Amino acid sequence: MNIKLRLTLVSFMQFFVWGAWLITIGTYCIAAKHWTFPQFGAIFSTLAISSLFMPALTGIMADKWINAERLYGVLHILYGLVLLYLPQVNDPDTFYYVVFAAMICYMPTISLSNSLSYAILKREGYDVVKVFPPIRVWGTIGFIVAMWATNLSGSKTNSNQFLIGAIGAILLGIYAFTLPKVPPPKTIAKEASFVEQLGLKAFKLFGNYKMALFFFFSMLLGAALQLTNMYGDAFLFDFSKNPLYADSFVVKYSTIILSVSQMSETLFILTIPFFLKRFGIRNVMLMSMFAWVLRFGLFAYSDPSVAGTSMILFSCIVYGMAFDFFNISGSLFVETTTDTSIRSSAQGLFMMMTNGVGAYLGSKISGWVIGKYFIFPNGNTDWHGAWLTFAIYALVVGLLFMVFFKHKHDPNKLETISH
């Protein structure tokens, strides 16, 4: 099989095995298991905690001791085995630790899959900049296909969603051992220290006011990045309690509807060069923040009626701008404003502040806030109030960013990166 096709399959399966349950685990925990929002918030926070340390540790292992494709295969097999055990768990505290174990195995494979593809493509003589993006797009397609499979198989409220992910992960793990070998570099002219590989050297950037402010806002927005992934499916499925909407398309196919968000991501990625060139990095980041206001606000006023469904779909389309614009423009800001000697570490710090610290705080605090303030006396959830609160939060973050964060647009720097 052509190596590009083989890596495309890896990319597809990499996100298929995550998409099978990531969007619907909230429905499983809240609607099926009847666990509390704080308990679910803690469970979801394991994604962020594992992102703080595992990618760096496995990167060091692949650089020094073990073939990258073997490490990748082992991690996916372990991840699949842990997922197989999840349906046996009926206690939220135990569930937390089992999901945490799964995330320790899975989260580092995201960056590892990229490293694998880069190494193999370069060795085969391909232009990575041109060849890799079309391969990576199939990862998003894999995520969408998994969401559809979970929904259409009737698995969004039961533990079969974990079995779908588990089987895919074990098969991917076995397949990884057939990939071209990617051994650790035999010679490293100037080895990076353990501290440098963990990205800790970049912490000196906090001594720069502008960078410290950027990382602070990255953390604040990072708290919002996963909220609709956490609660979106549970929110739509909750309309089943209303006799008017119990058999509606939105309730039956909530996961499929939410997959429009991922479709939107792939399209908005293509528009980023235009927006960056026209408006600059700071304004594109601002667009992302105000897009989050729309994303949450539209959810607050939507329902499965015709008009309400239109609002849900529009919210899903807006998600592409909200999610992609900050992640990519933020990454470019780091690329254009940091010294080359710490640029990789700085990128790691940016990811740590958004997907690590920010996502952890967002998971924990949102679960506590909904459990404390948005549960009606009858036990139902005040989703309108919850989404409106998240929208106000995003609006405040956006306004503060607009007032305090100053950055002059330099199109020449963007041109340098794009070539």
Cα distances from 199 to residues 55, 119, 206, 327, 332, in angstroms, run 11, 21, 13, 18, 17
Do the domain assignments include residue 187? no
Cα distances from 56 to residues 80, 114, 239, 384, in angstroms, run 21, 14, 42, 39
Say yes or no: 129 and 213 in one domain.
no
Calpha distance 55→49 (Å, rounded): 11
Do the domain assignments include residue 392? yes
> Terminus-to-terminus CA distance in the chain, angstroms?
31
Do the domain assignments include residue 323? yes
Say yes or no: 112 and 257 in one domain.
no
Cβ atoms of residues 213 and 79 within 8 Å: no
Say yes or no: 205 and 170 in one domain.
no
Q: Is the pLDDT of residue 180 over 50?
A: yes
Please compute the mean of the pLDDT values over residues 263-292 and round it to a whole number.
Answer: 90
Q: What range does the domain containing 224 cover?
A: 201-419
Do the domain assignments include residue 36? yes
Whole-number pLDDT of residue 313: 97
Closest to 112 measured CA to CA, from 187, 48, 62, 168: 62
Say yes or no: 125 and 178 in one domain.
yes
Do the domain assignments include residue 175? yes
Cβ atoms of residues 299 and 387 within 8 Å: yes
Domain final residue pick, 182, 214, 238: 182
Domain final residue pick, 126, 149, 182: 182
Q: What is the pLDDT of residues 203-252, one digit of tens each?
A: 788 888 888 999 999 999 999 988 999 999 999 999 999 999 999 999 99
Say yes or no: 95 and 172 in one domain.
yes
Whole-number pLDDT of residue 273: 82
- The answer for 187, left when phi > 0, alpha when psi is -120 to 50, beta otherwise, is beta
Q: Which two tokens stand for residue 332?
A: 């470019």
Calpha distance 124→11 (Å, rounded): 18
Domain final residue pick, 119, 151, 182: 182
Whole-number pLDDT of residue 191: 53
Do the domain assignments include residue 195? no
- Dmax (CA) for the chain in angstroms is 68
Say yes or no: 165 and 205 in one domain.
no
Calpha distance 391→394 (Å, rounded): 5
pTM value is 0.86
Do the domain assignments include residue 37? yes
Confidence class for position 194, pLDDT limits 50, 70, 90: low
- Choose from 65-74, 335-344, 387-396 the range with maximum mean pLDDT: 387-396
CATH number, residue 129: 1.20.1250.20
Q: What is the pLDDT of residues 71-129, one digit of tens each?
A: 999 999 999 999 999 999 999 999 999 999 999 999 989 888 888 888 898 888 888 76
Residues 6+ apart with CB under 8 A from 54: 103, 104, 107, 108
Q: Provide the domain count of the chain.
A: 2
Pinpoint the alpha helices (H) of 280-305: 281-300
Say yes or no: 122 and 223 in one domain.
no
Whole-number pLDDT of residue 355: 85
Say yes or no: 5 and 146 in one domain.
yes
Please compute the mean of the pLDDT values over residues 297-307 and round it to a whole number.
Answer: 96
Say yes or no: 147 and 206 in one domain.
no
Cβ atoms of residues 223 and 230 within 8 Å: no
Calpha distance 262→254 (Å, rounded): 14
Whole-number pLDDT of residue 54: 80
